[in-house]
Structure 1
């Protein structure tokens, strides 16, 4: 099965974490074989020369951001490029002396980073974001598989934020799963809310006179924003109460919809799904994680993206959705593994 390409910002961020975390530096072999964004291609043992050229371009990108990558010769064999070690001095990512942040302030700053597209960040802003993440400290190798969140904002967000500030109506197409065409929606946007790592729009649906929650990733095409007309409903005066109620309902749905996954140890899937989950260790070393979710369809796509690193145990509807996605990908790429998927993936997918 073909692997999806890792976004460059995730690969470069993982490289920074690895280089900062190692005080003695890492060889090119150690970096390419272990850092998220390189390791999958390295294990496939194909196009090693292309992978090394990518590594050189990533190092140059870091230098352009003002983050120098230091090189350390092997004391036993100076000049041997295979034993050359790379590292980033922690001083390159240190914040000014005397500047500190509370846990809440760090959380708010990280959320601000998530709200911007990678392309809109200046070099100074990207460097500041990396310094911000370095304040977390104590990261182990497992953290190298976790995305920093750069580039994750949605195209519809700026228009929706403008509508919220101006109290205007927003019109857009909303693509529900298993439907061929998007549905037309006319709403008063009330708040953008990040939940389960995804951006949601909490809005007052002008056609249904009710509060609705929309996943930004499902908004199709451009958002049109305009003032309301005389014959249309007004923006509700109790917007804050409606937002609070919608958030409470999301939280309740998450508590009610339980999921059990088996993940392989020391993998990106374990790093992604472990936070907040109840975990038990199996005799074979794998971990069974139990957690809640609000959207089984979106979760199926996420689980499928980790391939054999994550296996769905419950519920059956999620397991079936993941199997269907994996079979579809396998068929598109001309593989011969579809018939053996169920047996090869144990109790689920």
Structure 2
């Protein structure tokens, strides 16, 4: 066990103890020798200022009861595994398309993490480039729009912006009460209550510009209502579910389809012949069919009839592009 981990664990044991913790118990918990326990206790008391008291019979240690609640370890105390996880998270942010917006704010934290790791590793550099993040389908974001939306969400303020619909290309002015930011398939969305339409909507952040927050407080929509409207059906622009889709995957694709999380309410089962049957709620068919049709001949829409017919039309149109 690394020294940082031992000191952190020692602090937790002593701060939680109501009676002295025996020397033998500390040797076992810290997985170290008797001499190491004494050195760590001395470091905790003399260097970090912990209110450590010594017990002679039996030999052990505890915190002074009057000071225990007020004492905390100074600075940032994390284990090597926790630091490695933070570095990996930083790489994820940096390479997933978000780092450009959050990088400046997070850079001091990364520098501090690098410093702590270097101290633990005797100056050795950690090869963070070996944490590989590959983004796919990430859209360009306007930095000002992202920050305005994030600020309005967290500060609970209304937001005005110009929105360019992807499907029609039309531009409209919106005034909304932001509810939450959603990161979905490598892209950011703003879930909000649209005051003009008096309804909940999801806005793709890459289609927002001229965002301007107001001083007026945002309306808070209950979390359960947000989930019912925005997360109860398949896809990002879901809305309340209109029907349940049944899709059957071939035996060759069954393992892949079964291990994917399609929806929080999905129902799946393996059929006797090795195929996999998936049922899930949906409102808009477009995104669902895009994901089903990527399996090609290994996926078949069974129900409802309207969704099956739409899948057939899309496949015929696609085949027509090849002169078939």
Q: TM-score if structure 2 supplies the norm length?
A: 0.49
Which one scores higher on RCO, CA 8 angstroms, separation ≥ 6?
Answer: 1
Larger Rg: 2
Q: Is the strand fraction higher in 1 or 2?
A: 2
TM-score (norm 1): 0.46
